[in-house]
Structure formats: structure tokens, C-alpha cells
């Protein structure tokens, strides 16, 4: 029998040859910015072994056809590969029947499928759905929407300061009104391993009619999972976090539960008969697989599962446990670093912030990327977790079977050097800003730099053209940010906060006292690159006529600058929010005229 996920203690992994495993992943041999790639963003997506790449290519080269509908040889071959993949998944998680394996686009669609179908099948006012405070947004928002539409109530299991679920509080939430418990197996932002087996047992005892869904996106690549031993009603996971392709996922559901649920989507292959007087639906699993499925994705997922099983969890688990302990110890020992998420039972994630000096995680991500090291920074689609633990974002190192101690050592060396460099830089900036006022009335706002926005834009374009590569332009932005006055701490409040994913931005804006139709503002960020973008916005807009600001095509200007080629998506770093607040202030100024 496949083992249920537990928290094994580190044991010797002498039979695990990490270099042999690494050789199976072509991408691990590339360089980034002239440095060997070190990939620590496995919680977002894992890399793909050659066996998966070969399986996908083989399908498209020699078996490409639609499934379930053709009598010709190619269709039969494609159907056979697709259904064999379903059986591979069934065996992998020890589901009783292949028909209980529904192929989806990923964990998110699996959760939405359940939410939509349960909503249609009778959620009513007063029914209760329980999630936890550490859930990914994809296991919060679908239930919020279902509650809004039906009158059901969303209940939340709190977490403690270590990032662990409070089981006593969970037990008190369970009652006869509970219709569903939906919790994550392993937290993507903290690495906490939740005691889902115990939670399912408690649910069965105290809320007998409730269903239980487990978000297994982060668990299936790191530990064996047995859905029969767990006794969950649903288990959802994504292929791309299991060394498989993107766009393919799995929803396991107990046959009796799935048969009661109405379809999630309608279309081809999910019907039995169609007439204008009515339609009947196909049996499981087809009832929940409308349209042409991701055939190559399913075949690639099966290849990924076969690969993982060929390596063996008996060697993967101890190797990754040793790596986790080593990474947590090394990163946590760096001066100024505080680990976020210190649960007793953890898997493969080390999240942290730098508090001394206070550094934005966005800057950390960029600094590490310049050395070829890929980590994830931001709220990791877990804003409630960040709010609970009183951080805006974290830097996250998420491990996989192909990572090594030497990679962790390299990360720590670069991180240590970056903290030292930023400490020296911030000391200079703080000295320069001591005279800054502590109230809006006493602030020295950024001056107008050109007669018109168009003139200021032309000057910025001219400056950017001096640099041939993205690194030079990025350095120019950072220099712009270094020259900004720092906004006083007393003005960094919720009222001035601009929410971004990977940075903190504060903005103070007003109409100029001498010329009320003109806007002036100051802004600040914990990320040096974002401070540079703030400086660019000040050069463009501060002191300018509010109507001109509203009329200026900023998107076109930023595209001409090539900003998208040197920083990540603007929505993620707070720039969109900054622009929105500036325009809102301009709109208020023009409405007074």
C-alpha cells in the first residue's frame, strides 16, 4: 500500500544520486546572466525531466489525434495513451477506481469544479464551509463566491505564530451546518504540513454530512499520498508541480459523491444524449471532462509520475528532508534574516524576510536573479497568511529532489553580500533624509522638472537610450530611486499605502497650494527598483496640470521605455496601484474646477 503523507525524520540517503537525477533535467544545465542556473522556485512549478519532454514530443509526432471519438488508428492510440495516463494517476494516489480521476487544468480548476457543482447541487443560506487561514487564494475565492451566491457562510481555521493550524479552534467550528472542509495539505507559502488525516477524522465525527477536499498541489511531488487511507472526498493537484506539464491537473473524487454532483462545464464528450427537449450526461469521468482534453498533458503527467516512482520516494523524502533542515539552518543564520513559518512539521519551503536592514523582497529576488538564482518573492497568493504574520511579502526558497547543498551555500553567500551592500547604501540614504518633515504640511514635495509632461517624457527617453542593455537601464532606475527623499515613517500609514505583491509603496499627493489644478506628490517603497519607478513618475507628473496627467498615455510611454523588459509585471510590484492613486487625485482636482 502507498504510504500516507507523514513527516519523516531525516535519515541517510546514501542511495540517492542527486547528480544522476540532475542529469535528467536539461534546463538545469543552462546559464542565467552568465551564471549557472540555481532553481529554488519549485513551489511555483518544477522543472521537467527528459522523460516527460520525450513523452510529449512522441505523442505529437506519432499519436496526435482527438480521443474517444474516432475509429481510426491515431484516435485509438491517443485514447489508449490518455486512459492509460488516468490509470497511472489512479495507482499513484491509490484511488479505488479510474473513473474517480478527473483530468482538469490544475488544482485551481479542480477546486472551482467542486465549488461550482456543490453550489448547483444545493448549498443554501446558513450552510457553512470551512477553510484555513493559510490557504492559497484558489482555495478561498471560489468558496467566497459560492457563499455570496447561496447565502452560505465561510468559516476560517486560525493559525498560530509558527504557521500551524489550531486544531482546537477547528474542532469548535465543526457542527451539523458544516457542508465542506477544504484545506491545504502543505502550505505553499510556509511549508507547514497540516494533519489532514486527523482533520478528516474529526470532521467525520463532528460533522457527519460534511465533505472534505484536500489541496494537494504541494504534497504529491514530495511524499506518497494515499487517498483511501486519508478518506478524503476530494483531492486536487497540478501536474506542473509534479515535474509534469503545465495545463494539466487532477481532481480525485469519491464515485458516490461525483455521481451526485451536476457537471461543471458542458460540451462535447460529457454528454450521453442531446436533444432540444433535454440532455443526459455521460458517466464518470467523462461527465466532468467537457471538450477536447489536454491529451499531451495527461500523457506527460503519466511520464512524470513514472519518473518520480523510478527515483523512488524512499530516497526522495530523506534527501529533501536533509536539504530542508540544511537550508533553514543556513538561511536562518544570516544576519538580519527572520524565518517566516516555523511549524514543527514542515516540507521543502523556507520563507524569510530581511529586517536588519529592512529590505524589500522584490529587491532580494532581483539581486539573486542577477547571480542566476531563482527564488519566489511576494505574497505567494496567500494574502491572509501575510496579514496574519504581519509581513507584506516573503522571499521563498522551495526545494525539489534535484537541489543540492552547494546551491544553498551559493544562495546564502549572495544573500549575505547583498544585505551588506544594502546596509551601507541605506545608511547613506537615511543620513540624507533626516531633515525630511513629519507632516504633509511640512513636506518638501518633488518639484516640476519640465514645462510639460511630454518634455519630461522626452528627457527620460533620452536618458534610457544611453544604455544598451537591461542591466544598465535597471541600474539607472535604482540610481533614480537612491536620490529620492525618504517618506517619514509617520506618514507610512494604511491611508497612504499602495498595495503591491512584491513591494510596499506609500504615496502622499495633493493639489499644489499655489496652483490647485496642479498635482504634487511624494512616494516611497521598500524596493530600490520600485523607488526608481517612483522617481520616474515624479519626473513625469509632479507639478504638472492634473488634466494633462489624466490625458497622458502612460502605457504607451512605458512600452517605449521598455520597462516590461527590465522589471516584472507592473501589477505585481505596486506601480499600477501608484498610477491609479495619482490619477484618482488628479480626477478629484479636476472635479473641483
Cα separation, 183 vs 187, whole angstroms? 9
Respond yes or no: is residue 147 known to be catalytic. no
Cα separation, 372 vs 529, whole angstroms? 18
Is 241 within 8 Å of 46 (Cβ atoms)?
Answer: yes
Burial status of residue 550 (CB atoms within 10 A of its CB: 0-12, 13-18, 19 or more): middle
Grid cell locating 13: 540517503
Dihedrals phi, psi of 236, to nearest 5 degrees: -120, 140
Cα separation, 13 vs 24, whole angstroms? 19
Is 341 within 8 Å of 333 (Cβ atoms)?
Answer: no
Treating both helix axes as pointing N-terminal to C-terminal, what angle do 453-464 and 470-482 enclose, rounded to 10 degrees? 130
327: Cα separation from own chain's centroid: 21
- Tell me the DSSP string of 476-507: HHHHHHHTSPPPPGGG-STTTEEE-SS-EEEE
Active-site choice (99, 147, 232, 381):
381
Cα separation, 523 vs 502, whole angstroms? 16
Is 422 within 8 Å of 361 (Cβ atoms)?
Answer: no
Beta-bridge partner residues of 155: 130
Grid cell locating 396: 521563498
At a CB cut-off of 8 Å and minimum separation 6, what does 285 contact? 86, 98, 99, 100, 101, 102, 103, 258
Cα separation, 463 vs 579, whole angstroms? 22
Hey, which residues are catalytic here? 381
Amino acid at each position: 500500500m502507498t504510504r500516507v503523507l507523514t513527516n519523516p525524520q531525516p535519515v541517510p540517503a546514501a542511495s540517492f544520486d542527486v547528480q544522476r537525477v540532475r542529469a535528467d533535467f536539461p534546463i538545469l544545465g543552462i546559464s542565467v546572466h552568465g551564471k549557472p542556473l540555481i532553481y529554488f522556485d519549485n513551489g511555483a512549478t518544477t522543472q521537467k525531466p527528459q522523460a516527460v519532454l520525450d513523452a510529449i514530443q512522441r505523442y505529437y509526432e506519432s499519436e496526435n489525434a482527438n480521443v474517444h471519438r474516432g475509429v481510426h488508428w491515431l484516435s485509438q492510440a491517443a485514447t489508449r495513451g490518455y486512459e492509460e495516463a488516468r490509470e497511472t494517476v489512479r495507482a499513484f494516489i491509490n484511488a479505488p477506481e479510474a473513473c474517480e480521476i478527473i483530468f482538469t487544468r490544475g488544482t485551481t480548476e479542480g477546486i472551482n469544479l467542486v465549488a461550482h457543482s456543490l453550489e448547483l447541487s444545493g448549498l443554501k443560506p446558513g450552510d457553512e464551509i470551512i477553510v484555513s487561514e493559510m490557504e492559497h487564494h484558489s482555495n478561498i475565492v471560489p468558496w467566497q463566491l459560492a457563499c455570496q451566491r447561496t447565502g452560505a457562510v465561510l468559516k476560517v481555521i486560525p493559525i498560530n505564530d509558527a504557521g500551524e493550524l489550531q486544531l482546537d479552534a477547528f474542532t469548535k467550528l465543526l457542527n451539523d451546518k458544516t457542508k465542506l472542509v477544504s484545506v491545504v495539505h502543505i502550505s505553499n507559502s510556509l511549508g507547514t504540513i497540516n494533519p489532514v488525516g486527523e482533520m478528516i477524522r474529526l470532521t467525520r465525527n463532528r460533522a457527519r454530512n460534511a465533505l472534505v477536499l484536500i489541496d494537494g498541489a504541494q504534497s504529491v511531488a514530495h511524499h506518497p499520498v494515499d487517498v483511501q487511507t486519508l478518506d478524503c472526498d476530494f483531492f486536487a493537484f497540478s501536474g506542473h508541480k509534479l515535474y509534469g506539464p503545465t495545463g494539466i491537473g487532477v481532481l480525485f473524487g469519491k464515485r458516490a459523491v461525483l455521481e451526485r454532483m451536476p457537471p461543471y462545464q458542458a460540451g462535447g464528450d460529457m454528454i450521453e444524449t442531446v436533444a432540444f427537449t433535454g440532455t443526459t450526461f455521460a458517466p464518470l469521468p467523462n461527465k466532468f471532462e467537457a471538450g477536447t482534453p489536454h491529451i499531451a498533458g495527461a500523457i506527460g503527467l503519466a511520464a512524470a509520475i513514472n519518473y518520480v516512482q523510478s527515483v523512488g520516494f524512499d530516497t526522495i523524502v530523506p534527501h529533501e528532508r536533509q536539504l530542508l533542515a540544511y537550508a533553514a539552518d543556513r538561511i536562518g543564520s544570516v544576519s538580519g534574516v527572520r524565518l517566516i513559518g516555523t511549524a514543527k512539521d514542515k516540507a521543502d519551503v523556507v520563507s524569510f524576510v530581511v529586517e536588519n536592514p529592512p529590505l524589500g523582497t522584490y529587491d532580494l529576488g532581483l539581486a539573486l536573479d542577477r547571480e542566476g538564482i531563482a527564488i519566489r518573492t511576494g505574497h505567494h497568493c496567500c494574502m491572509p497568511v501575510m496579514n496574519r504574520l504581519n509581513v507584506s511579502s516573503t522571499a521563498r526558497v522551495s526545494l525539489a529532489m534535484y537541489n543540492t547543498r552547494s546551491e544553498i551555500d551559493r544562495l546564502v553567500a549572495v544573500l549575505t553580500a547583498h544585505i551588506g551592500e544594502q546596509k551601507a547604501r541605506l545608511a547613506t540614504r537615511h543620513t540624507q533624509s533626516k531633515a525630511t518633515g513629519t507632516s504633509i504640511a511640512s513636506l518638501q514635495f518633488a518639484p516640476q522638472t519640465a514645462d510639460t509632461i511630454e518634455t519630461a517624457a522626452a528627457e527620460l527617453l533620452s536618458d534610457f537610450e544611453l544604455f544598451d542593455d537591461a542591466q544598465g537601464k535597471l541600474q539607472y532606475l535604482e540610481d533614480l530611486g537612491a536620490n529620492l527623499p525618504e517618506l517619514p515613517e509617520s506618514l507610512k500609514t494604511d491611508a497612504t499605502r499602495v498595495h503591491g505583491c512584491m513591494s510596499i509603496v506609500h504615496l502622499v499627493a495633493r493639489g499644489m497650494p499655489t496652483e490647485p489644478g496642479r498635482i504634487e506628490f511624494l512616494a516611497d517603497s521598500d524596493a530600490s527598483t520600485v523607488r526608481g519607478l517612483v522617481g520616474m513618475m515624479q519626473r513625469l507628473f509632479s507639478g504638472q496640470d492634473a488634466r494633462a496627467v489624466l490625458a497622458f498615455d502612460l502605457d504607451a510611454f512605458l512600452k517605449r521605455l521598455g520597462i516590461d523588459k527590465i522589471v516584472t509585471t507592473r501589477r505585481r510590484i505596486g506601480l499600477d496601484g501608484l498610477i491609479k492613486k495619482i490619477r484618482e487625485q488628479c480626477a478629484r482636482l479636476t472635479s473641483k474646477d
